[in-house]
Amino acid sequence: MPSRYHEVYGKSMRDPEAFWAEAAAEIDWIKPWDKVFDPSLGSFGQWFAGAECNTCYNCLDRHVERGRPGQPAIIYDSPITGKSASYTYKEVLARVNALAACLVDKGVTKGDRVIIYMPMIPEALMAMLACARLGAVHSVVFGGFAARELATRIEDAGPKAIVAASCGIEPGRVVAYKPLLDEAIELSAHKPEACFVLQREQAEATLIEGRDHDLGALMGEAMAAGRTVDCVPVKATDPLYILYTSGTTGQPKGVVRDNGGHMVALKWSMKNLYGIEPGEVFWTASDVGWVVGHSYIVYAPLLHGATTLVFEGKPVGTPDAGVFWRVISDHNVVSLFTAPTAFRAIKKEDPEGKLIGDYDLAAFRSLFLAGERADPDTLQWAEDKLGVPVIDHWWQTETGWAIAGNPLGLGLLPIKHGSPSVPMPGYDVQVLDDAGHPVPAGTLGNVVIKLPLPPGCLPTLWQAPERFRSSYLDEFPGYYKTADAGIMDEEGYLFIMARTDDIINVAGHRLSTGAMEEVLASHPDVAECAVVGITDKLKGQTPCGFVVLKAGVDRPTAEIEAELVRIVREKIGPVAAFKLAITVERLPKTRSGKILRATMRQIADGDAFKMPATIDDPGILDEIEDALKERGLAGST
């Protein structure tokens, strides 16, 4: 059957308001919109202006009221603890009501912010939904960040309450969250009024009298009393959540998501992009701390009446590289969404894919990849071993759903390896040169999206509209800058090649080299530094820091390098995966003093590079290459 993509995409471009109004019919509104799109609001207009709604109602209540009370909403599978559980829509609603009641009892109301600091457990989703129910704005912080990163987010979001777990579990170690939380609150100028802590058996947290509450106990009481909390009507344009993501500095960007447009876009994507029917099991193997988790572990599957799977484990080592196949087979997963890194990890452990044969994958129909570039080798491997379409799609925290993809639900277009395929409805994607002129097909340039952005995308940054404009809108007037460089071919397929800023992508995690440089520069022995992302077979990229020591420092460099590795882990967190600090005599610079980071990266990767015309002293590049070779890099292996 030919794909309906071109017809559907064309309609979204010709008459976006009619297109999105039709999609919005899938959502239950408390009050309909005055305008589908109001160009006079915000920085570039807002979707569904005047409408009122509640995201939690659309995720839970309506399915309980209309035919799905007994269907599993959340399946929890935790190979790292050996636990599993399944909760029906009715059960999730009861728990979300109870959790919302706990928040209300401590004064949380519409518009208040609530930070959620939890691992991959069902309560993380329930806490998000409870906030949505109250019209409170959640901000989930990924567990792999250190106290200082959590503190930055507490200070910026100004939460009334924090919902946390006592610990997360990583292979071989229990990560006690409570000491990190206490330290973060200590560091932050803003103090929350209440902290709710879910005690897990692997690490009991000490609660601070007056401020901290035992979430499990309070929820138990609220459930026993049958407490319910009405869904609070919010404006479609009100914020549902803030999700902090790496920018070019140590100060993360608070990406804001609204309620109405977000629901419309995500609901549309489940059927049309992912090809999922309500009632089916959809598994996103990511973390609720990332945008992929927000959209496709929590909101989209539940808006659609599907079953979502919460997986607390790793693709390898919990217990082996067959765990993804075991989970797919145990729970009749029809579609898996994960980052290519997960597949590189599996392929490394089980290159022949032998473990796949141990499981019945009859229900499994498709694999979606995103979060980083899907290298053709990995994609080909997954296709060969699984025998289902493997679909790369490209998006960002900012957009909340795919900018480009291959719409399984509309009928797949031919897949081109290395390309996340074609723009999704509502996205007018173009490729411009640095002066803002369109480049010919097949030419590398800045990938931009003509304004307005479609529903679901960020309207602004939390309390930073100026930063929103300067980061995304000012450089190419009339366009949103994705900060990705790429190519569009003659057939309209996109190829995303690299970031144009200081962001790197490590195991599908978005990290700021600028933030790491700030940490390195804070070391008393460091005069200057540069962090670049170098190619890593497993994680795609890995950070590599070059440091120049202050004159007169005569301690062993190995000692200082080990300290630098430690402080990045302490200040940013283990997720930064910063393991390589290299002392050099000088950094290569242009005559105007700009550090030549791209050239250093090319040398580290052993790539051919052109000597920058403006380089101050070409001899430094040889020194950099020698330093890298000593570590087995720069093509020496």
Binding stretches for ligand AMP (CB under 6 A): 245, 291, 370-374, 392-397, 420, 482, 484, 496, 499, 505, 510
The residue among 37 and 395 lying less far from ligand AMP, judged by its C-beta, is 395
Q: Which does 291 bind (CB under 5 to 8 A by kind): ligand AMP, ligand COA, none?
A: ligand AMP
- Helices (DSSP H) in 25-88: which residue ranges? 55-56, 62-65
| Binding-site partner at residue 425 among ligand AMP, ligand COA, none, CB < 5 to 8 Å by type | none
Token digits for 205? 């947290």
- Compute φ and ψ for 129, nearest 5 degrees: -70, -35
H helix count then E strand count, the chain = 20, 31
| Cα pseudo-dihedral 46, 232, 142, 167, rounded to 10 | 180
Question: Which residue matches tokens 């572990």?
Answer: 297
State the nearest-atom distance from the C-beta of 370 to ligand COA, in Å: 7
The end-to-end CA distance of the chain, in Å, is 49
SS3 59: helix
> Which is closer to ligand AMP, CB of 113 or CB of 499?
499
In the complex, least distance from residue 347 CB atom to ligand AMP, rounded to whole angstroms: 18
User: Residue 505 touches which of ligand COA, ligand AMP, none (CB < 5 to 8 A by kind)?
Assistant: ligand AMP
Task: Give the total residue count for the chain.
Answer: 637
The entry of ligand AMP, ligand COA, none that residue 394 binds, CB within 5 to 8 Å by partner kind: ligand AMP
Tokens of 219: 């929820």
Cis geometry, peptide bond prior to residue 319 (ω within 30 degrees of 0): yes
Q: How far is the CB of 328 from ligand COA (least distance, A)?
A: 16
Per the DSSP assignment, residues forming a β-bridge with 337 are 284, 368
Q: What are the beta bridge partners of residue 529?
A: 547
The residues of the shown chain that bind ligand COA, judged by CB under 6 A, are 119, 143-144, 168, 170, 175, 286-287, 290, 292, 314-316, 339, 341-342, 345, 371, 506-509, 539, 574-575, 577
Among residues 6 and 631, whose Cβ is nearest to ligand COA? Answer: 631
The Cα 111–Cα 288 span in angstroms is 21
- Minimum CB–partner distance for residue 494 and ligand COA (Å): 19
Handedness of CA 253, 142, 282, 136 (dihedral sign): negative
Q: Which is nearer to ligand COA, 487 or 577 (CB)?
A: 577
Q: Which does 315 bind (CB under 5 to 8 A by kind): ligand AMP, ligand COA, none?
A: ligand COA
Closer of 233 and 353 to ligand COA (Cβ): 353
Closest to 320 (Cα-Cα) out of 360, 348, 286, 281: 348
499 contact choice in ligand COA, ligand AMP, none (CB below 5 to 8 Å, kind-dependent): ligand AMP
Shortest gap between Cβ of 426 and ligand AMP (angstroms)?
18
Q: Which does 144 bind (CB under 5 to 8 A by kind): ligand COA, ligand AMP, none?
A: ligand COA
Residue 417, SS3 per DSSP: coil
Pick 16 or 340: Cβ nearer ligand AMP: 340
**Partner whose footprint covers residue 175, from ligand COA, ligand AMP, none (CB < 5 to 8 Å by kind):** ligand COA
510 contact choice in ligand COA, ligand AMP, none (CB below 5 to 8 Å, kind-dependent): ligand AMP
DSSP 8-class letter at 18: H
Nearer to ligand AMP, 188 or 396 (CB): 396
For the bound state, the minimum distance from the C-beta of residue 114 to ligand AMP, rounded and expressed in Å, comes to 22
3 state DSSP class of 218:
helix
- Is residue 467 within a helix (H) or strand (E), and if so which, with residue range? helix 465-468
For residues 426 and 17, is the Cβ–Cβ distance under 8 A?
A: no
The least CB distance from residue 171 to ligand COA, in Å, is 7
Residue 621 C-beta: closest distance to ligand COA, Å:
29
Peptide bond into 2 cis (omega under 30): no
CB of 255 to ligand AMP, least distance (A): 8
Which residues is 63 bridged to in the sheet? Answer: none
